[in-house]
Amino acid sequence: MKILAIGDVTSPAGLEHLKKNLWKFRKTKGIDFCVVNGENASFITGISPDGAVELLRAGADCITGGNHTMQNKSIYTYLDETREILRPINFGDSAPGRGYTILDCNGYRMLVISAMGNIHIDPVLDNPFSFIDKALKEEAGNYDFSILDIHAEATGEKLAIGYGYDGKINIIFGTHTHVKTADLQILPCGTGYITDVGMCGETGGVIGMNAECVVERMRTRLPKKFVAAPGEPKADGVIFTLDESSGKVTATESISF
């Protein structure tokens, strides 16, 4: 079974890129299930209901969230009504929507969890470990395989979560920094892991944004509207090959298209 994880969609152009290319890529690579982090599809203002619908039609089986997901209040009702889109589980039960879902994948039950880290990220949510533990305990026996998107800034925090759930969650991938890391690996107990899968959006700037805007904001500390980077969009991701018999990841492939 091949599972594709795609990093943060950073803009409407990134969404359009997936609409044009994701299904074709899935067919070429024989992808069985695709998770896309869509929290920035409206360009740093969350994701809209229309954007979520388009992303699911484009080939995402599940959309995970992050720190910007709840900024767009228009998505709240859609989060409540749609099993295929998630917000971080550690926003808690008072927030709209859900932090995990169970979806069909070729007859197997796929548990997908969206969680957020605590270090150097805003808002600061509750400890993700306790929420992930609770989800795994509550749904024990109700799923066959599991995927976790840990949306976090600190690489050490993501790696700690990777080792903390090695052998308990089949695939763990990180999002948020928009920069693909070089530590794609299979952990000792068979979990496929990467600290960050990268992003899907315009290239040639700073994590999807125009470099001049970012540099000026950092130099002056004054407000300046972000503008998208000038280059053509691309999608970064990872393909995890999962053995259905053992539940272990047997191969990983870093991809960009």
Our answer to whether residue 151 is catalytic in this structure is no
177, 199 Cβ separation under 8 angstroms: no
Q: What does the alpha-carbon distance between residue 235 and residue 37 come to, in Å, rounded to a whole number?
A: 11
Catalytic-role residue among 17, 68, 176, 178: 68
Q: Residue type for 219, please? A: R
Which pair of structure tokens corresponds to residue 32?
């069985």
Cα–Cα distance for residue pair 188/166, rounded to 1 Å: 7
Rg (Cα) of the chain, in Å, rounded?
Answer: 17
Residue 241 contacts residue 1 (beta carbons within 8 Å):
yes
Greatest alpha-carbon pair distance for the chain in Å reads: 56
For 3, half-sphere exposure in the C-beta direction (CA atoms, 13 angstrom radius) is 32
The tokens of 73 are what?
């209040």
Region of residue 128 (phi > 0: left; psi between -120 and 50: alpha; otherwise: beta): alpha
Active site residues: 68
